Amino acid sequence: MGSELTKVVVELGDRSYPIVIGKDLLQSSIDAEFLSGKIKGKNVCIITNETVAPLYLDILKKNLSDFNCTQFVLPDGESHKTMDSIQRILTSLLEQKQNRSLTLIALGGGVVGDMTGFVAACYQRGVDFIQVPTTLLAQVDSSVGGKTGVNHPLGKNMIGAFKQPTSVIIDTATLKTLPDREFNAGMAEVIKYGLIWDATFFQWIEDNVEPLKQRDADTLAFAIAKSCEIKAIVVAEDETEQGLRATLNLGHTFGHAIETHSGYGNWLHGEAVATGMLMAVAMSENDVEASTFARLQLLIEQFNLPTVPPKGMTAKDFLQHMSVDKKNVDESIRLVLLKKLGKAYLTSDYSKQLLNQTFQHFVH
C-alpha cells in the first residue's frame, strides 16, 4: 500500500460507516474491515461504466474472489443518469435472481454512485451498497452522505432517496487517470467546503493550488480527508437535509439551473457549481468582504473553471429552472448564501433586486 490510511467516520448511530482514504487501495488486498467485512452475503454486483471498467473492474473483482461477483456496465456520462438506466439495472438483478443479501458496489464517479445508491434503496425495498468513488468530485462529495437519485428533463436529481452506504473506499491513485477537466470540476466542491465551513481550509487551498494541480498524493489526501470530515459532520447533524445540510448546496441552485438548461453532461456538475458559487457570493455582497468574491474568482480561474453562465442563458431561464429545486418551500426560491467566509446559511429572505442585479452582472 502506497501510503497510510486515513479514516473518517460518518456518525449515524447503528448506521455509522467509515470513509477510508489511501493510495493504491485497489491494487492491494483491501482490509476485510473496509470491504469484505461490510458484505453480509455471498453475492456482490459491481455497477460501473464503460470508462472506468477497463481501468479498475478486474482489479476490484480480484479483491472479491471469495464472493459470487457479477457486474453491470453503464454508458458513461450524466446524460445516462435516468430512470431508464435504473430500470435496466433492476432488470439485470432480477434476471440474476438476486435477493436481499445482495451487496451492490458503486465503482465510478458521481453518476454511478448516485444510481447505484438509488437502486440499493429500491431493490427489494433496500439492499446494502458500498461506494468506491474514482473521481475527485465523487470522493469529496457525492459518495458521502447517502443522497442518491437520477435526473429528470425538468430538474436535476429530482427523483431519488436517502440511502447511506455501508462504507466508502477512496483510492487516491484513481485520480491519476482522471482527465484534467473532471479533476478541476471536482476541485469546485473542495473549494466549496472552505467557503461554507472553514476559512482556514479555504486559505490552505489558495496556498496549495500548484501541488493540487500537480495531483501531489499527500496534498490531495489532505484535501479529500478535510472535505469528507466537513461533510461527515454536517450529515451526522442533518441527514435528510432539513436545514444545515442544505448549506452544502452553496452555488448548486444556480448550478443546477445551468446543467438543466445546457443539457445534462454538456457542463460538468463542478463547472456549473463553480459559476453558481460566484453568483451566490455576489448575492451575499452585503455580508461578505469584497475580497472574498475576488479570492473565489481567482481560485476558480486557477483551476480552469468557468466564471460565467453559458452564452445565451437569460435571467428568465435561470428563474424557470430555479423554481424546480428541492430546497424550495411553497413558491419561494431558497438560496444558500454566505454570512461570511466559512459560514453559510439557507434563506428565502433576500432582496429580489439583488437577485436581479446578480443576473445582470453574470448573464450576457
Q: Packing angle between helix 269-283 and helix 180-197, nearest 10 degrees?
A: 30
Low-confidence stretches of the chain (pLDDT beneath 50): 1-2
Q: Which domain holds residue 251?
A: 180-362
Q: How many CB atoms are located within 10 Å of the residue 36 CB?
A: 15
- Which of 125, 286, 331, 352 is catalytic? The answer is 125
> What local confidence, expressed as pLDDT, does residue 41 receive?
92
What Å distances lie between residue 243 and 104, 153, 159, 166, 195, CA to CA? 30, 26, 20, 24, 17
For position 295, what pLDDT does the model report?
97
Classify the phi-psi angles of 351: left when phi > 0, otherwise alpha if psi is within -120 to 50, otherwise beta: beta
Q: What is the CATH number of the domain that holds 312?
A: 1.20.1090.10
Domain boundary among 143, 158, 176: 176
Concerning whether 237 is annotated as a catalytic residue, the answer is no
Of 38, 147, 226, 321, which is the active-site residue?
147
Q: Would you say 188 and 273 are in contact if contact means Cβ atoms under 8 Å apart? A: yes
Spot the catalytic one: 182, 189, 259, 271: 189
Please report, to the nearest 10 degrees, the dihedral formed by the alpha carbons of residues 151, 112, 302, 343 taken in order.
70
Looking up residue 53, the CATH number of its domain turns out to be: 3.40.50.1970
Instruction: Report which DSSP code applies to 178.
Output: S
Q: Give pLDDT, residue 331.
A: 64
Active site residue 361: no
Residues 131 and 225 grouped into a single domain: no
The answer to whether residue 1 sits within a structural domain is no
Q: Alpha carbon of 282 to those of 97, 247, 262: distances in Å?
A: 53, 16, 22
Predicted confidence (pLDDT) per residue in 144-183, tens digit: 988 999 989 888 888 999 999 999 999 999 999 999 999 9
Tens digits of residue pLDDT in 109-149: 999 999 999 999 999 999 999 999 999 999 999 999 889 99
Whether 111 and 94 share a structural domain: yes
* Active-site residue identified among 269, 321, 326, 334: 269
